[in-house]
């Protein structure tokens, strides 16, 4: 059975259930009491009539038993054994309920002085009265249940009103309004205590957010400063003609790692700040980002026998910051170039999405469902294992569909649908 989650519905349901249960209990008690009372009155009537007839018969043995619309009597003795109907002849002394055709009777059987007396009381009318009474009680039970439900709905509004008011104030409150405590609007009672607890949690959360914001700002500044120094130094060193090609290659790797670190830091900061998710320029041209990412990571192919095919549609723009789109595309391109030893890498971008297919070593079957988990790496992977996790987070944030198909030693296909 489904339970309502709404507090107002719970209160209304409780009152309706309580009213239904109470009305059913009262109906049962009233019906049982009325039935027992009617039965007792009939038995008392039969007892009185039998005693009166037996007394008359003792005075006059030829007295006839009662025979009226409601009562019918019989006597069985040595002289009149055949006068008793067969359905009564087998009854033992005591009280019995007898049905003859469509009629029902209450029968009293008494044995005295060698004679057996039978007296029937027609209960058909009594049963009809009980049926009408039963119907009336059912109507009353339904009416009481409906009244209880309506009362529960009305009462639930009064009971839940303070909770609704508190929820509305929390829902409509802006960040700049949090300096005004909620407890000022609910000075007493349970709602006041709930508001004070909520205020205490808000204070703790704001303090935590401020600490995290200060830490991220300081770390971002220090990290950017250090990376700027590294990139400046590598840029100067790469222009030095006295260095050998081997030395320049190593310095280029340092420069590449520093730039990747700067891009990753930018992406993480943008993901943490919702106000920077949408580009202020109105959109980002995906084709330009793809071309830039391919040129930037082409060095990963080095002397590999890999052919790169790029097909783009310059008309496509997505409502996102280009820095985030660049992180997304760069991670996918870097993975395709890094894990493809030979063959082809095909990048296709049309009006609906982006796909990157390679003929690299692929992903083991057990790892396909886990590659988007943070810090997941299989035995052959390189890096920290956050690239695809970051790609998944960016897609989820903007509502883009991300699909990955891969087989070990057969290549990988990654598809992103922007709309």
Which pLDDT does position 176 carry in this prediction? Answer: 67
- Here the CATH number for the domain that contains residue 373 is 3.30.565.10
Of 88, 112, 147, the domain-final residue: 147
- Say if 385 falls within a structural domain: yes
Quickly tell me which residue has 């002394």 as its tokens: 93
* pTM > 0.85: yes or no: no
- Say if 196 falls within a structural domain: no
Which pLDDT does position 280 carry in this prediction? Answer: 47
- Helix (H) / strand (E) element for 115: namely strand 115-122
What residues make up the domain containing 372? Answer: 277-417
Which pLDDT does position 78 carry in this prediction? Answer: 67
CB 172 within 8 A of CB 201: no
Cα 142 to its chain centre, rounded Å, is: 32
Residue burial 228-264, b: 16+ Cβ < 10 Å; e: rest: eebbeebeebeeeeeeeeeebeebeeebeebebbbbb
- Say if 247 falls within a structural domain: no
- Say if 83 falls within a structural domain: yes
The number of folded domains in the chain is 2
Digit-coded pLDDT (tens) for 65-107: 888 888 888 888 766 655 788 888 888 889 898 888 888 888 9
- Say if 174 falls within a structural domain: no
* DSSP SS3 for 11: helix
Tokens representing 252 are: 């280029």
Which pLDDT does position 359 carry in this prediction? Answer: 92
- Say if 232 falls within a structural domain: no
Q: Please tell me the distance from the alpha carbon of residue 163 to that of residue 192, in angstroms, as a whole number.
A: 10
Weakly modelled stretches of the chain, pLDDT under 70: 1-5, 78-82, 175-178, 264, 267-268, 270-282, 374-386
Which pLDDT does position 380 carry in this prediction? Answer: 47
Which pLDDT does position 152 carry in this prediction? Answer: 76
- Here the CATH number for the domain that contains residue 58 is 3.30.450
- Say if 411 falls within a structural domain: yes
- Say if 373 falls within a structural domain: yes
Q: Please tell me the distance from the alpha carbon of residue 196 to that of residue 218, in angstroms, as a whole number.
A: 33
Of 147, 178, 213, the domain-final residue: 147
Q: How many residues does the chain have?
A: 419
Helices within 173-285 (DSSP H only): 189-238, 245-272
Of 121, 147, 173, the domain-final residue: 147
């Amino acid at each position: 059975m489904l339970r309502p989650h709404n507090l107002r519905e719970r209160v209304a349901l409780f009152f309706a259930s309580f009213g239904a249960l109470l009305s059913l209990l009262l109906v049962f008690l009233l019906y049982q009491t009325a039935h027992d009372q009617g039965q007792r009155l009939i038995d008392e009537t039969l007892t009185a009539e039998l005693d009166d007839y037996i007394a008359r018969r003792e005075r006059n043995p030829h007295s006839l038993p009662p025979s009226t619309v409601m009562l019918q009597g019989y006597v069985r003795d040595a002289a009149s054994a055949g006068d008793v109907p067969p359905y009564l002849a087998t009854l033992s002394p005591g009280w019995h309920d007898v049905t003859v055709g469509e009629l029902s009777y209450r029968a009293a059987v008494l044995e005295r002085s060698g004679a057996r007396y039978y007296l029937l009381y027609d209960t058909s009318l009594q049963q009809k009265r009980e049926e009408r009474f039963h119907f009336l009680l059912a109507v009353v039970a339904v009416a009481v249940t409906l009244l209880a439900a309506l009362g529960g709905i009305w009462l639930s509004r009064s009971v839940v009103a303070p909770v609704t008011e508190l929820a509305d104030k929390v829902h409509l409150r802006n960040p700049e309004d949090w300096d005004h405590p909620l407890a000022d609007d609910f000075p007493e009672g349970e709602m006041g205590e709930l508001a004070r607890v909520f205020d205490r949690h808000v204070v703790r959360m704001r303090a935590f957010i401020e600490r995290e914001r200060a830490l991220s700002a300081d770390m971002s500044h220090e990290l950017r400063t250090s990376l700027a120094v590294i990139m400046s130094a590598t840029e100067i060193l790469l222009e030095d003609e006295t260095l050998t090609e081997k030395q320049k290659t190593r310095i280029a790797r340092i420069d590449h790692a520093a730039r990747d670190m700067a891009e990753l830091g930018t992406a993480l900061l943008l993901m943490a700040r919702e106000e920077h998710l949408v580009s202020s320029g109105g959109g980002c041209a995906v084709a330009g980002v793809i071309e830039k990412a391919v040129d930037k990571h082409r060095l990963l192919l080095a002397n590999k026998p890999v052919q790169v095919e790029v097909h783009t549609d310059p008309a496509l723009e997505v409502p996102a910051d280009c820095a985030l789109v660049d992180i997304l595309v760069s991670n996918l391109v870097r993975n395709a170039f890094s894990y493809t030893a030979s063959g082809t890498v095909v990048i296709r971008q049309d009006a609906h999405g982006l796909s990157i297919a390679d003929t690299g070593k692929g992903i083991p079957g057990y790892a396909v469902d886990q590659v988007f988990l943070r810090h997941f790496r299989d035995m052959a992977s390189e890096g920290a294992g956050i690239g695809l996790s970051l790609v998944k987070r960016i897609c989820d944030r903007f509502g883009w569909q991300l699909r990955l198909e891969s087989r070990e030693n057969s290549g990988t296909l990654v598809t992103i649908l922007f709309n």
